[in-house]
Amino acid sequence: MRSPATYRSNRIRRIDDILASLLRQKRWRNGLLYARIYQDWPQIVGKEISSHATPAHFSRGRLDIACDHDVWRAELQFLKPELLARLTEALGEGVVKDIWLK
């Protein structure tokens, strides 16, 4: 029978391996991507848009954006392709696939 010290030493894993394993899990990755979108929002879309629209939810490649007025929602609907391009540039290809405006 193995001693407890031997058993524990076989189970020791490097912290970077543990974190990499967690980040490969979709639920962690989506949460981290949303946090990055939320944090970098003013740099991604610009100061004026960020003062009237906020990322509200991110799931399965869809970013929901809450607008403070219907006029801004209409404006962002028109700018949707540009917003998707900016998000792709900031986050990588295929991260944000669609935008829903609220």
User: pLDDT at position 48, please?
Assistant: 96
Instruction: State how far the Cα of 102 lies from the Cα of 69, in Å rounded to an integer.
Output: 9
Range of the domain at 34: 4-101
- DSSP for 71-101, please give it: HHHHHHHHTHHHHHHHHHHHH-TTS--EEEE
Look up the pTM and report it: 0.73
Q: How many domains does the chain divide into? A: 1
Instruction: State how far the Cα of 68 lies from the Cα of 87, in Å rounded to an integer.
Output: 20
CATH number for the domain harbouring residue 58: 3.30.300
Query: Tens-digit pLDDT profile for the chain (102 aa)?
Result: 555 555 555 678 888 777 777 666 666 677 788 899 999 999 999 999 999 999 999 988 999 999 999 999 999 999 999 999 999 999 999 999 999 999
